[in-house]
């Protein structure tokens, strides 16, 4: 017997949630800092930045050179996009199963459209999974709820009864601020303890666990 999905609308973060882009992000941040200012940053420095926009991170870290840092990051990231990613086993299949079950799916990401669109194709997402909101679509960014509310508007869906899935504390904070349910995944940038400290319906360690929540 077919079951009604718990959430008819599910939005996803992208980096570290639907596709393992973490190594590529780290490499691009490292390149940008090294070439523009000679600053050496570590993976531990970079992971807490993931989930925020490049504009916000560079403005906070080095406002005087923010534009040049972002340009250097983007040039490196676009050139190395395909080489800097790995698929998470089972994620693409789960999103296809969700679409087949009648769940409307979309991506709300801090990536720019020029990298988000090809990355979504590399992730093997179904055509029905739309890019509901990218970095340049709003003036406010996670943890502000505006990107999630913008994505919901694209899908003509209410916040109540919708779900956002992400790997960073900013994702869960934004979901709570938007009035959405939030599920954190531990295979990306956030640590389990950090995610557990945020508002959430669940924190999951495996795709099978996530499937159990969204498909039953």
In the chain, which ranges are E strands?
A: 9-12, 104-108, 130-133, 162-166, 181-185, 202-204
Our answer to whether residue 181 is catalytic in this structure is no
Q: Which residue from 85, 84, 86, 74 is spatially nearest to 31, judged by alpha carbons?
A: 74
The sheet that has 202-204: what strands, in order across it? 130-133, 104-108, 9-12, 162-166, 181-185, 202-204
Count Cβ atoms below 10 Å from residue 70 Cβ, excluding itself. Answer: 19
The secondary structure of residue 91, as a DSSP letter, is H
**Domain parsing of the chain, residue ranges:** 9-20+86-214, 22-84
Q: Looking at the DSSP assignment, which residues form a beta bridge with residue 50?
A: 52
- At 23, phi and psi to the nearest 5? -60, -40
CA distance 46 to 57: 10
Which residues fall within 8 angstroms of residue 77, CB to CB, at 6 or more apart? 24, 25, 28, 84, 115
Q: Of 13, 15, 137, 181, which residue is the catalytic one?
A: 13
Q: What is the pLDDT of residue 90?
A: 97
Q: What pTM did the predictor assign?
A: 0.92
CATH fold for domain 9-20+86-214: Rossmann fold (3.40.50)
The secondary structure of residue 86, as a DSSP letter, is B
pLDDT by 10s per residue, the chain, length 216: 456 789 999 999 999 999 999 999 999 999 999 999 999 999 999 999 988 999 999 999 999 999 999 999 999 998 988 888 899 999 999 999 999 999 999 999 999 999 999 999 999 999 999 999 999 999 999 999 999 999 999 999 999 999 999 999 999 999 999 999 999 999 999 999 999 999 999 999 999 999 999 998
Q: What does 1-43 look like in DSSP terms, one character per residue?
A: -----S-SEEEE--BTTTBB-HHHHHHHHHHHHHHHT-----H
Q: What is the pLDDT of residue 99?
A: 97
Grouping H, G, I as helix, E, B as strand and the rest as coil, residue 159 is coil
CATH 1.10.150 fits 22-84, yes or no: yes
Q: What is the pLDDT of residue 1?
A: 41
Q: Is the dihedral of CA 90, 91, 93, 94 positive or negative?
A: positive
CA distance 181 to 172: 8
């Amino acid at each position: 017997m077919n079951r009604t999905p718990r959430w008819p609308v599910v939005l996803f973060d992208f980096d570290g949630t639907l596709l393992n882009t973490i190594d590529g992000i780290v490499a691009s941040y490292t390149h940008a800092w090294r070439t523009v200012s000679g600053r050496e940053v570590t993976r531990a420095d970079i992971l807490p930045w993931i989930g925020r926009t490049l504009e916000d991170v560079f403005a906070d870290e080095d406002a005087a050179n923010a534009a040049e840092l972002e340009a250097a990051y983007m040039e490196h990231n676009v050139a190395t996009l395909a080489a800097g990613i790995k698929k998470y086993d089972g994620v693409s299949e789960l999103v296809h199963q969700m679409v087949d079950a009648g769940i409307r799916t979309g991506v709300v990401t801090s990536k720019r459209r020029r990298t988000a669109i090809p990355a979504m194709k590399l992730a093997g997402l179904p055509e029905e999974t739309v890019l509901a909101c990218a970095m340049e679509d709003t003036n406010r960014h996670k943890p502000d709820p505006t990107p999630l509310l913008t994505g919901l508007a694209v899908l003509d869906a209410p916040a109540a009864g919708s779900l956002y899935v992400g790997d960073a504390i900013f994702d869960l904070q934004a979901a709570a601020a938007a009035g959405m349910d939030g599920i954190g995944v531990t295979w990306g940038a956030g640590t389990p303890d950090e995610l557990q400290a945020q508002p959430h319906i669940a924190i999951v360690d495996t795709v099978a666990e996530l499937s159990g929540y969204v498909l039953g």
